[in-house]
Amino acid sequence: MIVVAIDGPSGVGKSTVGRALAASLGVPYLDTGAMYRAVGLLARRKGLPLPLTGADEVGELAERTEILVTGSGGDVKTFLDGEDVSAEIREPEISRYASAVAAIPRVRRRLAARQREMALAGGGVLEGRDIGTRVVPEATAKFFLTARPEVRARRRYEELVRKGTPQELASVRAEMEARDAADSSRADSPLSCDDTYVVVDTSDLDAERVVERLLQAVLGSRTG
């Protein structure tokens, strides 16, 4: 069974690379970030403003709501109690909510347990911020993707333009830097990288070359 962990900040290509790598390996793609976005959407629907203060209420939402991420390749769907929210969770505001709920230990415990269960049940490629440190530290291979800040901001900006929800580039970069700070400084499972990871700078690489590099490393770890 193959379990691959891909961690790193936003804008480094984790989702694109993760989907393609999963397809190449013939294993599921488990979009863990979508699960945090789904909880963030729940919080917004409940009318909870940012910054979040009702940690217990959000934790209860995460525990009593069925969150399902299913599919592979370019057809990954996210459901909240059976409702397809795949498009809604990609709204720019939900990124801010995702970071806020991810800082709540009760939410992280709930979702990390579910992610681990899915990974160990059938293998897969998981991408997020604490996959290799918290969710499946014993993964077959662990990668930390990074890129220069200006490259990451530009990628996110272009993604929003394609989706029809454009924002000013400066605003995109400021929001990204704020999320980086929140993800790296939270007390419970912060974004981090240690010597168990293979670090890949994607700044000057297209997705295909990154996938090729990761694929070679995974297959090498299986035969080495």
DSSP conformational letter for 214: H
Q: pLDDT per residue over 79-94, tens digit each?
A: 999 999 999 998 888 9
The CATH homologous superfamily to which domain 3-223 belongs is P-loop containing nucleotide triphosphate hydrolases (3.40.50.300)
- pLDDT value of position 140: 94
Residue range 195-211: mean pLDDT, rounded: 96
- Which pLDDT band holds residue 69 (cuts at 50, 70, 90)? confident
Helix (H) or strand (E) holding 68: strand 67-70
Average pLDDT, the chain: 90
Instruction: Please report how many Cα atoms fall inside a 13 Å half-sphere around the Cα of residue 105, on the Cβ side.
Output: 2
Asked if 79 contacts 102 with a C-beta cutoff of 8 angstroms, the reply is: no
Of residues 85 and 184, more confidently modeled: 85
What residue spans define the domains of the chain? 3-223
Please state, for a pLDDT cut of 90, what percent of the chain lies above it.
64
Q: pLDDT per residue over 19-43, tens digit each?
A: 999 999 999 898 888 999 999 999 9
Cα–Cα distance, 13 to 62 (Å, whole number): 27
Asked if 5 contacts 100 with a C-beta cutoff of 8 angstroms, the reply is: no
This model's pTM is above 0.75 = yes
Q: How many CB atoms sit inside 10 A of residue 163's CB?
A: 12
Residue range 6-27: mean pLDDT, rounded: 92
